[in-house]
Structure formats: C-alpha cells, structure tokens
Amino acid sequence: MAEVVDGEFTAFVHERGDALLRVAYALAGSQHGAEDLLQNALAKAYARWPRIRGDAEPYVKRILYHDQVSRWRLRSHRAEVPVAVLPERAVQRDLGQDSDLRLLLRDALRRLPPRQRAVLILRYLEDMSVEETAAALGCRAGTVASQASRALAKLRELVPALDELTTFQEAP
C-alpha cells in the first residue's frame, strides 16, 4: 500500500511539480521561498494522499495560497511594511517600452502584501474568476474584489506608468 502511495505521489510531483513551483514562486517571490512553500504543501498532500489522490493539484494549490498568506503573520518571515522612500519609479517612461513596464510591474508585485499578491496570482496566472478565487482563498467574493483593488492601487503607486497606461487607454 505504501509503495502504491509513494509511486502515485512521485508520479504526480514529476508531472505537475514544475507548474506548481511556478505558482509557488509567484506567491513567494523567491526561489528559496518557493521551494520551501511547495515542499511543505506537497508534504501535507502526501500525508493525506489516500483522501486527496483524485484531487491533489487543487489541494496543493489551496495549501500554497493559505500558507503563503499565513506566513506573513509569522515573525520569522518578512512583513511587507512600506518603506519611507519608494524604490525606482517610472514616471518618465515611454509607454511603448512594454518590457520595461513588465519588469517594473514584476518587481512591484513582489512588494505587495501576500494576500493581495495571492489574489492577483489566482486571477492572472491561474485565470480564475472572482468567485473561484474567493473559493480558493476561503473568503468572500467582495474580499477578493477589495484586495484586487488595493493591489492595483499599490501597483499604480509603485509603477506610475501603469496609471498612464490606463489613462492612455481610456482617453477618447
């Protein structure tokens, strides 16, 4: 029995490990954090494998999201407290420089509080709807909307070019 479980679990990780690591990386923002996060989630999945074997990937992802958000509160992990002086801004950037904008946005994503970042990961990496995101995070749809709104506001603050993009698009 144990050999069957080990075999199934190993096959699952080999098949889906890279995809899960991408999600973990986007959540944690670093390779070390991602591996740590994913390893813990997979270990929990293994311990419950007989009960979740048919639904393992959603289970692992749920743990990834919850653990990452929870870790924020742990003293042993870095809290995301705003610095007095914001890092590099992109006020004067040419909006045509999409790769620069993406680079700035990518760095700004790392600076979001984990809950806000998790919402964006679910919505834009996992392509989940607001309702699906709410279900994955175990919160209300309204909470997802408010977190997404705050995340966007923070990103605009960190990357003003994003705001200009919005203005550019919305201009008649």
Partner 1 sequence: MNGRTEEALRAAVRDLADEARGAPDIAGRALRRGRSLRRRRRVVAAGAALAATAVLAGPFVWLRPDPPAGPARWAAPPATSTPPPSGPAAPPAASTPSPSGPVAAPPPAGDWARGPLALPGGWVLTGATSTGTPAELGYALDRSAGRYVTSRYEETWAAPRGGVAAVVDYERRGELGLLELRTGQVRWVKVGSFIMTPHWSPDGRRLALTLMDKDDGGFSLGVLTVDTADYRTFPVDGKRYLCTDQCFFTWSRDGAEVALQQTDPDASVSESQPHARRGVQFFSPDDGRPSRFVPVKGDPDGPWSWSPDGRSVIVKGPDGPLLAEVATGRTIGPAPAADAAWVAGDQLLYRDRRANEMLLVDLAGRVLARQALPPALEANPVLAVAPR
Helix axes 114-124, 141-158, angle to 10 degrees: 100
Contacts of 18 (CB under 8 A, 6+ apart): none
The verdict on 71 binding partner 1 (CB under 8 A) reads: yes
C-alpha span between 55 and 43 (Å, rounded): 15
Q: How far is the CB of 144 from partner 1 (least distance, A)?
A: 14
The verdict on 85 binding partner 1 (CB under 8 A) reads: yes
Site for partner 1 in 10-39 (CB under 8 A): 10, 13-14, 17-18, 21-26, 29-31, 34-35, 38-39
The verdict on 40 binding partner 1 (CB under 8 A) reads: yes
C-alpha span between 100 and 165 (Å, rounded): 13
The verdict on 171 binding partner 1 (CB under 8 A) reads: no
Handedness of CA 88, 92, 96, 97 (dihedral sign): negative
C-alpha span between 136 and 65 (Å, rounded): 8
Q: Which residues bind partner 1 (CB under 8 A)?
A: 6, 9-10, 13-14, 17-18, 21-26, 29-31, 34-35, 38-40, 42-47, 49, 63, 66-67, 70-76, 78-79, 81-85, 87, 98, 101-103, 105-106, 108-111, 120-121, 124-125, 138, 150, 152, 155, 162, 165-166, 168-170
